Amino acid sequence: MKVNIKEVISGQKGSINFEISEKITDMFCFGDEVTFITPITLKAEVMKIDHKLFISGSVEGTAEFVCARCLKGFQKEIKEKVYGQLIDNEDEEEEMDECYSIEEELIDTSEIIHDVLVTSFPMKILCDENCKGLCSVCGKDLNVDECNCNIEEIDPRLAKLKDLLQQD
């Protein structure tokens, strides 16, 4: 979706506020599929400060994830801040960490929402910081119950020595 910011560019208004909800079906982030339960809402203000355009606001919604350790699905609220400079594609001489492009006095809110979502997700999405995951031997969910599997961790550099001990 695009928002017209002509009034701010021309100086007719110092800023404009807008709120846009966008339905995003699925998205892949670091190889994991993310499903959005609710539309993603961008609430933002575009303002002109010292002849430069800035956007400030928030992205909110609810998404369904799969835990990287226990493989259970869970829902999580997303609330992320948006702040960046709006630059014309023709004059990209000065860039901040977060820059969004202006094309023909329009900003693409889909690009902003996508960038904010991708940078807000961790590389490994967990249902809980203390998630124990699955047993590597039997596959039991260690968050629910302990298993009796004998997991012997051996330094791979010393594995050959173990083989020598078993030969004697």
Whether the pLDDT of residue 72 is over 80: the answer is yes
137 belongs to a structural domain: no
86 belongs to a structural domain: yes
pLDDT, position 92:
55
Q: What is the pTM of this model?
A: 0.72
154 belongs to a structural domain: no
Number of domains in the chain: 1
Cα 49 to Cα 18, 33, 97, 108: the distances in Å are 18, 39, 18, 20
122 belongs to a structural domain: yes
Q: Is 110 in contact with 1 (CB distance < 8 Å)? A: yes
Distance CA(143)–CA(127), nearest Å, equals 11
Mean pLDDT over residues 28-46, rounded?
Answer: 87
142 belongs to a structural domain: no
Mean pLDDT over residues 155-165, rounded?
Answer: 77
Distance CA(107)–CA(101), nearest Å, equals 7
Q: Is 16 in contact with 46 (CB distance < 8 Å)? A: yes
Lowest mean per-residue pLDDT among 18-27, 112-121, 124-133, 154-163:
154-163
7 belongs to a structural domain: yes
164 belongs to a structural domain: no
Cβ within 8 Å of residue 105, ≥6 positions away? 4, 5, 6, 9
156 belongs to a structural domain: no
Cβ within 8 Å of residue 168, ≥6 positions away? none
Q: Supply 59's token pair.
A: 């992205």
pLDDT tens digits, one per residue of 2-13: 888 888 888 888
Q: Is 11 in contact with 42 (CB distance < 8 Å)? A: no
Lowest mean per-residue pLDDT among 103-117, 131-145, 150-164:
150-164
Residue 44 structural domain = 2-131
Whether the pLDDT of residue 91 is over 60: the answer is no
Whether the pLDDT of residue 130 is over 80: the answer is yes
Question: Cβ atoms within 10 A of the Cβ of 118, count?
Answer: 13
